[in-house]
């Protein structure tokens, strides 16, 4: 398997695994219940879901991959159609409110570029599903920004939500393109893509990232948790607001660039919206380390793991074909 090809599989399987383990842990917030250290997909309650079940983050990510495969490009109408199909045919687990509102608007007949929720609703629904754009456009950053905007506005018009999706796609693109991680280069690369309307809060904290990486983890997380929030917010967990969600995922990856599990464990410790921080961190870490560094029991135990790996192969193949490269 070529180097970049294994990173495609690492990204999509990493997203699903991070999401699925995060989902298990969300159900483990009962008093006195102990968390197992990422050993299994236990804790899903009462047989409600099959083992390895993931949530809306992975469902929407895979919907974008299918839409790209269908059209050979990133197309707003195709992605919107896949979202609607997914909503009508799958039992989507734990969907976000803005995504639900936007997809219900699509079902009622809104156009793909009119369905997104209004400015001010800056949840993490665009960033959680951004990784396929990084895989598809890793060699063309202008296109990456354009395609990220297309996939984002279907559910969110808020510019911070669009910029967050661009930051995640850019992180994946950097990892697919580059062999070894250079922390300073990585930060500069993401910053260059965030110099857009809505990118301000990301730029501010990316500037501080080296300092955050140097301080004790709990202190850094409590700073990131408040990033871009109104001053009265005093929580230390990661809310579903897009700015801290994206920043904590980048932080976790940069803190543990060599370990998929250590990066994930960090975002689970940070708490809050951990299926989404797990999905994004898993995708970014998987895009750097490749599928073989995701523990076997997790990538084989996640629901639909073989199907997800097959989608990654098809996306890689489609990317090669688009560029006329003989395989």
**DSSP line for 236-282:** -SB-SBHHHHHHHHHHHHHHSTT-HHHHHHHHHHH-BSHHHHHHHHH
Nearest residue (CB) to Mg ion, 116 versus 125: 125
At 48, list the tokens: 């409600």
Q: Least separation, in Å, of the C-beta of 319 and Mg ion?
A: 27
Instruction: Using CB under 5 A, pick the residue from 11, 26, 55, 126 that binds Mg ion.
Output: 55
Is residue 5 close enough to count as binding Mg ion by CB under 5 A? no
Nearer to Mg ion, 15 or 162 (CB): 15
**Token pair of 121, please?**
């609703």
Report how many residues bind Mg ion under the rule CB under 5 A.
5
Which residue is closest to Mg ion by CB? 55
Candidate ranges 55-63, 75-83, 184-192, 207-215; the one touching Mg ion (CB under 5 A) = 55-63
Pick the closer one to Mg ion by CB: 126 or 199: 126
CB of 165 to Mg ion, least distance (A): 15
Contact 225, 238 (CB under 8 A): yes
Q: Which part of the chain contacts Mg ion (CB under 5 A), choosing from 53-61, 109-117, 150-158, 287-295?
A: 53-61
Regarding 277 and contact with Mg ion (CB under 5 A), the answer is no
Considering only residues 75 to 134 of the shown chain, the ones binding Mg ion according to CB under 5 A are 94
Please give the full DSSP string across 31-74, using - where no structure is assigned: TTPPPP-S--S---GGG-S-TT---HHHHHHHHHHHHHHHHTS-
Distance between CA atoms of 60 and 38, rounded to whole angstroms?
24
CB-nearer residue toward Mg ion: 153 or 274: 274
Nearer to Mg ion, 61 or 220 (CB): 61
Characterize 221-236 residue by residue with b for buried, 16 or more Cβ atoms within 10 angstroms of its Cβ, and e for exposed. Answer: bebbbbbbeeeeeeee
Rounded to a whole number of angstroms, the minimum distance from the CB of residue 117 to Mg ion is 17
Q: How far is the CB of 1 from Mg ion (least distance, A)?
A: 29
275 binding Mg ion? (CB under 5 A): yes
Within 8 A by CB and 6+ apart from 125, the residues are 56, 60, 96, 98, 99, 155, 156, 161
- Distance of alpha carbon 176 from alpha carbon 174, whole angstroms: 6
Q: Does residue 57 touch Mg ion according to CB under 5 A?
A: yes
Residue 273 in the binding site for Mg ion (CB under 5 A): no
- Is 56 a binding residue for Mg ion by CB under 5 A? The answer is yes
Cβ(271)–Cβ(235) under 8 Å? no
Q: How far is the CB of 56 from Mg ion (least distance, A)?
A: 5
Q: Residue 325 Cβ, how far from Mg ion at the closest point, in Å? A: 35
| Residue located via tokens 């940070």 | 270
Query: In the bound complex, what is the minimum distance in angstroms from residue 29's beta carbon to Mg ion?
Result: 15
Summarize as ranges the residues that interact with Mg ion (CB under 5 A). Answer: 55-57, 94, 275
């Amino acid at each position: 398997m070529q180097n970049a090809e294994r990173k495609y599989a690492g990204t999509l399987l990493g997203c699903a695994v991070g999401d699925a383990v995060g989902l298990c842990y969300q159900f483990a917030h009962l008093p006195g219940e102990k968390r197992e250290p990422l050993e299994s997909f236990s804790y899903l309650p009462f047989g409600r879901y099959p083992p390895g079940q993931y949530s809306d983050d992975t469902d929407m990510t895979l919907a974008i991959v299918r839409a790209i495969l269908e059209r050979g490009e990133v197309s707003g109408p195709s992605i919107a159609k896949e979202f609607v199909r997914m909503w009508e045919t799958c039992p989507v687990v734990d969907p976000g409110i803005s995504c639900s509102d936007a997809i219900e608007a699509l079902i009622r007949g809104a156009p793909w570029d009119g369905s997104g929720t209004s400015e001010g609703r800056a949840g993490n629904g665009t960033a959680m599903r951004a990784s396929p754009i990084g895989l598809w456009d890793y060699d063309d950053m202008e296109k990456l920004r354009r395609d990220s905007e297309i996939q984002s506005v279907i559910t969110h018009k808020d510019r911070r939500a669009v910029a967050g999706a661009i930051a995640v796609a850019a992180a994946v693109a950097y990892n697919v393109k580059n062999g070894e991680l250079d922390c300073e280069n990585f930060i500069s690369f993401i910053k260059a893509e965030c110099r857009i309307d809505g990118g301000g809060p990301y730029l501010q904290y990316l500037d501080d990232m080296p300092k955050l990486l140097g301080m004790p983890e709990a202190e850094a997380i409590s700073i990131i948790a408040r990033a871009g929030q109104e001053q009265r917010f005093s929580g230390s967990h990661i809310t579903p607001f897009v700015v801290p969600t994206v920043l904590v995922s980048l932080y976790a990856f940069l803190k543990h660039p060599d370990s998929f599990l250590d990066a994930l464990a960090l975002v689970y410790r940070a708490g809050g919206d951990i299926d989404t921080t797990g999905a994004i961190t898993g995708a970014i870490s998987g895009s750097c380390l490749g599928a073989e560094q995701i523990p076997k029991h997790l990538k084989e135990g996640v629901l639909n793991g073989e199907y997800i790996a097959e989608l990654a192969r098809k996306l890689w193949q489609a990317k090669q074909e688009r560029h006329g490269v003989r395989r």
